[in-house]
Amino acid sequence: MTGTRITAVEVHDVRFPTAEVGDGSDALNRGDYSATYVQLRTEDGPIGAGLTFTNGRGNELTCAAVQALAPHVVGRTVEEIFADMVPFWRSLVVDPQLRWLGPDKGVLHMATGALVNAVWDLRARVAGVPMWKLLADMSAAELVSVIDFTYLDDVLTPEEAQELLEKSAAGAEERLAELKATGYPSYTTSVGWLGYPDEKVRALTHAAYDAGWRAVKMKVGGPLADDVRRAALIRSEIGPDALLMMDANQAWGVDQAIESMAALASASPYWIEEPTHPDDVLGHARIARAVAPIRVATGEVAANRVIFKQLLQAEAIGVCQVDACRVGGINEVLSILLMAAKFNVPVCPHSGGVGLCEYVQHLGIFDYLRVSTSLSGRMIEYVDHLHEHFVDPVRVVNGRYQVPTAPGYSVMMRPESIARFSFPDGPVWRERTRS
């Protein structure tokens, strides 16, 4: 077969020493933001780039998992993969030996996401279009053909998905013109990390408001009195009309989440994110009933499409925060966007970390153009960290993501960043090991 043949999978363990400055600290995580960074080499064609985000230690595990999955990718052409994509996707997620280590979760699934996204990136680069456009130009039938409906068809059948996509196609060009003119709405998480003192939170909130943000997110899940004080501080800075979101990063049990939100309700939060363990569908459902009209949001650590299916079935979430690489890449994300649309739950993708903003802007734009057709209640998270390491970084103007124009999925890293931050042999890490 002719086409763009993948000749090698290259994987880099890239880590940024964020833990030492307190960026990215929340109730349960204090991380060195890291990327398991994948490049697909081709014969005479472009390079495809994908990554999965991790929190530092353990990034060697997702790198090793990419190597374990690589034989399913090397030697294939992009064209044959896309001619029949579900069997390709299943070769990764239903590998008869590796599947035992999941299935569909954790290290192996995150590595799957990096690889699958790299294949999609390569496809977009071959076509010379940004990812949102590659997706938006696909027909309803083509989109349905890349989704594995196994374990989902009790809630969403291929026929329903196709009907939904056909119905949503109308007006896509007008919506695109609107996005190009005004950008996609976002919110910022840079104001209220748990590692920051009150005065830094106040200054950052003030600066964010001045920069045009009307939706900000704070971390909660520390001592409740501290959370309440910081919430009041931020609310006083942003005024009564701007949105304040809260993120507990799984710090609470179910009953504790309900009690904590009773105390935090005075700051009028719009949503409470990750109130408890990400696997606890029934727990989230109970919390959602108790804290309404405050919405429950989750997704960044929701392992896969089956967890999202249940969160939606159980009416456990009012905001769906799908992540670009926690699940098995674009194929799985598409199924989650469609289920969210069926249940009429807005998708506000998880972002931050390394490269997540770059990734999810494409998902948000595609969701608006071809799936949800609405911006109501939709915002993409934005964190102003680490964008300088990407060849084609996000552009956010007045709190709105600008539509990307370069080909691909936007997570290709600068070679000099890969070299400097490679673990453990890059100069940034060698320096730290010496001292």
Which of 219, 216, 214, 228 has its CA nearest to residue 265?
228
- In this chain, which of 137, 166, 255, 431 binds a second copy, going by CB under 8 A? 255
- In this chain, which of 195, 253, 377, 393 binds a second copy, going by CB under 8 A? 253
Q: For residues 134 and 404, is the Cβ–Cβ distance under 8 A?
A: no
Per CB under 8 A, does 18 bind a second copy? no
- In this chain, which of 22, 47, 60, 169 binds a second copy, going by CB under 8 A? 60
Neighbours of 337 (CB within 10 A): 26
Smallest gap from Cβ 278 to a second copy, in A, equals 7
Write the DSSP string, 186-234. EEEEEEE-TTS-HHHHHHHHHHHHHTT--EEEEE--S-HHHHHHHHHHH
Q: Binding segment for a second copy among 23-31, 77-85, 331-339, 368-376 (CB under 8 A)?
A: 23-31
Burial of 73 (0-12, 13-18, 19+ CB in 10 A): buried
Per CB under 8 A, does 293 bind a second copy? no
Known active-site residue 109? no
H/E stretch holding 232 = helix 224-238
Name residues whose C-beta falls within 8 Å of residue 178's C-beta, 6 or more positions apart in sequence.
Answer: none
Given the residues 219, 284, 362, 389, the one annotated as active site: 219
Q: Binding segment for a second copy among 88-96, 131-139, 224-232, 375-383 (CB under 8 A)?
A: 88-96
Q: Binding segment for a second copy among 40-48, 49-57, 238-246, 264-272 (CB under 8 A)?
A: 49-57
- In this chain, which of 130, 183, 275, 278 binds a second copy, going by CB under 8 A? 278
Instruction: State which amino acid sits at residue 231.
Output: A
Q: How far apart are the first and last CA of the chain?
A: 53
Known active-site residue 219? yes
> Which is nearer to a second copy, 55 or 189 (by Cβ)?
55
Report, in angstroms and rounded to the nearest whole number, the Rg of the chain calculated over CA atoms: 21
Buried b (16+ CB within 10 A) or exposed e, 16-29: bbbbeeebbbbbee
Task: Tell me, residue by residue from 93 to 112, as one string, x for binding to a second copy by CB under 8 A and - for no binding.
Answer: -xxxxxxxxxxxxxxxxx--
Per CB under 8 A, does 154 bind a second copy? yes
Question: Which residues of this chain interact with a second copy, rule CB under 8 A?
Answer: 19, 28-32, 54-58, 60-62, 64-65, 68, 94-110, 150-154, 250, 253-255, 276-283, 286, 301, 303-304, 306-307, 309-310, 313-314
Which residues are catalytically annotated? 219, 350
